[in-house]
Amino acid sequence: MATFKDFRNNVKPNWCPGCGDFSVQAAIQRAAANVGLEPHQLAVISGIGCSGRISGYIHSYGFHGIHGRALPIAQGVKMANRDLTVIAAGGDGDGFAIGMGHTIHAIRRNIDITYIVMDNQIYGLTKGQTSPRSDVGFKTKSTPQGSVEPALSIMEMALSAGATFVAQSFSSDLKELTHLIEEGIKHKGFSLINVFSPCVTYNKVNTYDWFKENLVNLSTIEGYDPSDRDIAMQTLMKHKGLVTGLIYQNKEQKSYQDLIHGYSETPLAHADLQLSKEKFDELISEFM
Amino acid sequence: MISQLSWKVGGQQGEGIESTGEIFSIALNRLGYYLYGYRHFSSRIKGGHTNNKIRVSTTQVRSIADDLDILVAFDQESIDFNFHELRDGGIVIADSKFNPTIPEGSNVTLYAVPFTDIATNLGTSLMKNMVAVGASSAVLDLDIGVYQEVVEEIFGRKGQQVVEKNMEAIRAGAQFMKEQLGDSIQTMKLEKADGKKRMYMIGNDAIALGALAGGARFMAAYPITPASEIMEYLIKKLPALGGAVIQTEDEIAACTMAIGANYAGVRTLTASAGPGLSLMMEAIGLAGITETPVVIVDTQRGGPSTGLPTKQEQSDLMAIIYGTHGEIPKIVMAPSTVQEAFYDMVEAFNLAEEYQCPVIVLSDLQLSLGKQTVEPLEYDKIEIRRGKLVKGELPQLENKGYFKRYEVTEDGISPRVLPGMPNGIHHVTGVEHDETGKPSEVAANRKTQMDKRLRKLKHVRFNTPVHKNVKHEEADLLIIGFNSTRGAIEEAIGRLELDGLKVNHAHIRLIHPFPTEEVSPLVQSAKKVVVVEHNATGQLANLLKMNVGHADKIYSVLKYDGNPFLPHEVHTKCKELFQ
């Protein structure tokens, strides 16, 4: 059986020392091993940005695509081979700005993949511009007077879009993050895990200390029930989205693959490509 | 007796004009006639003039006719809009309900037939199109019995009574018309056809069927005119083969999802028109640099922007070849008939996997939506080739090394493994990378990998890169075209030869990499070269000049008003060059 070490490769990340993404990398490696995967059974599909490099830092199949499009690529991979475990990963700019259309539709489509967003509320690789997750008043190179656009309430948005698994975590809490990724992988449908992953270089406001002060762990809220969508929404609104833990899970809803008519139960990638003569003749006759 | 005629039905969109043409043409197809049908329609669902022009012949036809023998009109607008197409001696069959009139002094006969009244008396005015079918059939002196089977297929599930009522409507229309025609019934009597069974389909049907035969089991696409029929067909057929179609949120998702699925080992396509292709350009570049096979169909329509969404044009050529930023290996094919569209789709999937690059199959609105008779497609010609796809067990990787997915080879093509395979782990990235897929900015590596990728296209093996009709060693004229202009060009050549000119024809089927070796000798041996194409800037002509030279003798015949070339237009324009 593979251990988390088997998911390490010999590539040195080009992230800044102290970057929150290191923990996400470690959590994916641990979670993959904990759910019993072998490296070749996992495909990590990532977007563009500092965090997008993550698919190259895990010893598994990896596809580093184009900006904002990790999700459609990942969904294509899963549709082609339903036996693969597919993790999509990227930053908040990737998923909630350029790729927002895909995020919402991947949520409602509910294909069985796990999407991990490394949310640092800033554009890092382009050296410090505002993100859709930046707070009002946040000063960046592109908002020198402070951002006037409100930050997207991403967890509420996911619930509204019909998400069946919504979780949020923090880079400093490797144990919880690993657990949530495991649960996301096991979830039969689309799982969204937003991770507060501080940028130590360009975000001097939302720092590790800031999150420690402001985040509320759902385990501290008595009687919190992640199967209740109403409570999930209310709790998110009450705490301005600054909660961690499993926010909502619908275990009843079937995944896209299990709902669509006729879809092969074995990986399509293994299908016989040759049409039988009989099938061919049948198709031809319909045009006569 | 005549061997060929042209028939058109016109009316308001949403009024059943489509079904009139459908039933009429399916019946003629079953009798063994060769047909070519082209619809004029607008970007709306109800209202607005629409028409369906069908050419009937005892030999293969691939172009709209220059003129019209019979016009069936459901409203006065249809007469006013189409009257100029009628030849001397042509006829108009119109619903008497709207008191039809035709311009005075023309040598055209008007027959007012109570389409609506006859249908209403039989039960419902909806059957007026059946009355029109019957009336048309009487002119051609067709045996009405041929409709029984067709009507049963269409209305059978609504019950025998509905079938019988519709047959009655056809018979009543025919009977009424026969009485009107009297002695002139013989003038448009059609020669008997050979009665052979042939397929009758639009290009998009053939593209979709070709994808199935070529092993496609997944499609990701966003609806657009004139491409949607491709996804609609596959939505009906793929589930029975275990496959699926996803209607994505946009064309970017469609293309990237198709890339993801191909990367993971399923032959996957997407299909769109110019606006969608513009959105896919970045993704096509990704497929190029990651050497991921993907098949993309572009059914060209009038551009730019929304342009003429329901009209014919061939103006995506340069964008398709050069639209992607950076430089990638890419194959662009352009079938010119429905048969070719079928076989080319099979081949597109083979080439995509063999050369591990995006393959774009260009169509145009006329080819995609024009309906034509197709000689039987041959099962034995379908061949699946997967190139350097690695099957079987791989040797163990030492020290977490990566599989050399981008190994530098003589032909530039590297072994390809699919995710899920033990010992095949490697990285894939749109960033420049080394042989294992790891990002690399090293100058020497950059050059090596660029050269490796582009080297793949040095020897693309494509069975017929140019469709040639070369009768003359030295020609007065060489006509060049691509996609659906083939029929109009072929007919024009027949007339130019009668004028005494020696004319050769080259229809380009492999647009990129350009088949210079095939085309060059033909250009050299012609006094003049005319490139016929549906755009305003002569894109194929420019491509020809770039690859073959001889700019001084290359002329353009262009049409970009949204309507397909008619044979006489090509004939006249070419003839002018020699006066």
DSSP chain A: ---GGGG--SPPP-PPTT-THHHHHHHHHHHHHHTT--GGGEEEEE-SSTGGGGGGSSSSEEEE--TT-HHHHHHHHHHH-TTSEEEEEEEHHIIIIITHHHHHHHHHHT-S-EEEEEE-SEETTTTSEE-TTPPTT---SS-TT---SPPP-HHHHHHHTT-SEEEEEETT-HHHHHHHHHHHHHSSS-EEEEEE---TTT-SSS-HHHHHHH-EEGGGSTT--TT-HHHHHHHHHHTTT-EEEEEEE-SSSPPHHHHSTT--SS-GGGS--SPPHHHHHHHHHTT-
B257 and B296 housed in the same domain: yes
Q: Min CA distance, B446 vs chain A (Å)?
A: 18
Of B344, B361, B381, the position where a domain reaches its end is B381
Answer whether B273's CB lies under 8 Å from B301's CB: yes
Q: Min CA distance, A185 vs chain B (Å)?
A: 16
Let me know if residue A16 belongs to a domain: yes
> Residue A226 is part of which domain span?
4-261
- Lookup: tokens for A99: 């790729």
B331 and B320 housed in the same domain: yes
Let me know if residue A272 belongs to a domain: no
Mutate to test the interface with A, among B377, B425, B440 (most CBs of A within 10 A): B425
Cβ pair A261:B239 closer than 8 A: yes
Closest CA to B173 of B143, B136, B147: B136
Regions of chain B with pLDDT less than 50: none
Provide the sign of the torsion angle of the four alpha carbons B430, B435, B441, B447, taken in this order: negative
Q: Please, which residues have CB within 8 angstroms of residue B157's CB and are 6 or more apart in sequence?
A: none
Identify the closest residue of chain A to B282 by CA–CA distance: A66
Distance CA B403, CA A61 (A): 10
Please give the radius of gyration of chain B, using alpha carbons only, rounded to the nearest integer.
26
Distance CA B574, CA B530 (A): 7
Provide the sign of the torsion angle of the four alpha carbons B164, B166, B168, B174, taken in this order: negative
Structure confidence at residue B305 (pLDDT): 97
B376 and B473 housed in the same domain: no
CATH number at residue B489: 3.40.50.920
Q: Considering its fold, how many domains does chain B have in total? A: 4
Of B446, B463, B480, the position where a domain reaches its end is B463
Q: Which residues on chain A are in Cβ contact (under 8 Å) with B242?
A: 262-264, 266, 268, 271
Q: Please, which residues have CB within 8 angstroms of residue B239's CB and are 6 or more apart in sequence?
A: A260, A261, A262, A263
Distance CA A62, CA B264 (A): 11
Cβ pair B256:A277 closer than 8 A: no
B181 and B213 housed in the same domain: no
Structure confidence at residue B185 (pLDDT): 64
State whether residue B488 is helix, strand or coil: helix
Of B339, B355, B381, the position where a domain reaches its end is B381
Identify the closest residue of chain B to A105 by CA–CA distance: B249
Residues in chain A: 288
B179 and B319 housed in the same domain: no
B45 and B132 housed in the same domain: yes
B329 and B277 housed in the same domain: yes
Answer whether B548's CB lies under 8 Å from B523's CB: yes
Cβ pair B427:A55 closer than 8 A: yes
State whether residue B560 is helix, strand or coil: coil
pLDDT, tens digit only, all 288 positions of chain A? 999 999 999 999 999 999 999 999 999 999 999 999 999 999 999 999 999 999 999 999 999 999 999 999 999 999 999 999 999 999 999 999 999 999 999 999 999 999 999 999 999 999 999 999 999 999 999 999 999 999 999 999 999 999 999 999 999 999 999 999 999 999 999 999 999 999 999 999 999 999 999 999 999 999 999 999 999 999 999 999 999 999 999 999 999 999 999 999 999 999 999 999 999 999 999 999
ipTM of this model?
0.98
B435 and B494 housed in the same domain: no
CATH number at residue A152: 3.40.50.970
Residue with tokens 């040598």: B107
Q: Which helix (H) or strand (E) holds B548?
A: helix B539-548
Cβ pair B426:A61 closer than 8 A: yes
φ, ψ (nearest 5 deg) of residue B175: -60, -45
pTM surpassing 0.80? yes
CATH number at residue B184: 3.40.920.10
> Is B440 in CB contact (< 8 Å) with chain A?
no
B100 and B9 housed in the same domain: yes
Q: Min CA distance, B248 vs chain A (Å)?
A: 8
Cα end-to-end distance, chain A, whole Å: 57
Distance CA B336, CA B344 (A): 10
Q: Which residues on chain A are in Cβ contact (under 8 Å) with B201?
A: 287
Structure confidence at residue B468 (pLDDT): 98
Structure confidence at residue B577 (pLDDT): 94
Q: Which residues on chain A are in Cβ contact (under 8 Å) with B239?
A: 260-263
Let me know if residue A276 belongs to a domain: no
B423 and B480 housed in the same domain: no
Answer whether B327's CB lies under 8 Å from B317's CB: no
Cβ pair A263:B258 closer than 8 A: no
DSSP B374-412: EPPPPGGG-----TTB--S--PPPGGGPPP-TT---TTS
Q: Which residues on chain B are in Cβ contact (under 8 Å) with A53?
A: 439
- Lookup: tokens for A17: 């020392």
Please give the radius of gyration of chain A, using alpha carbons only, rounded to the nearest integer.
20
State whether residue B541 is helix, strand or coil: helix
Q: Min CA distance, A227 vs chain B (Å)?
A: 28
B145 and B293 housed in the same domain: no
Cβ pair A80:B265 closer than 8 A: yes
Q: Which residues on chain A are in Cβ contact (under 8 Å) with B247?
A: none
Q: Which residues on chain A are in Cβ contact (under 8 Å) with B419?
A: 40, 43, 61, 77, 81, 84
B307, HSE (Cβ side, Cα atoms, 13 Å) = 25
> Is B422 in CB contact (< 8 Å) with chain A?
yes
State whether residue B429 is helix, strand or coil: strand
Closest partner CB to A40 (pick from B198, B240, B421):
B421
Closest partner CB to A79 (pick from B240, B256, B261):
B261
Residues of chain B numbered 280-309 and touching chain A (CB < 8 Å)? 282-283, 286, 290
Cβ pair B418:A269 closer than 8 A: yes
Q: Min CA distance, A115 vs chain B (Å)?
A: 15
Let me know if residue A142 belongs to a domain: yes
Cβ neighbours, 10 Å, residue A180: 26
Q: Considering its fold, how many domains does chain A have in total? A: 1
Answer whether B486's CB lies under 8 Å from B367's CB: no
Identify the closest residue of chain B to A78 by CA–CA distance: B261
Q: Which residues on chain B are in Cβ contact (under 8 Å) with A49?
A: none
Cβ pair A271:B217 closer than 8 A: yes
> Residue B362 is part of which domain span?
201-381
B522 and B553 housed in the same domain: yes
Cα end-to-end distance, chain B, whole Å: 36
> Is B258 in CB contact (< 8 Å) with chain A?
yes
Structure confidence at residue B378 (pLDDT): 97
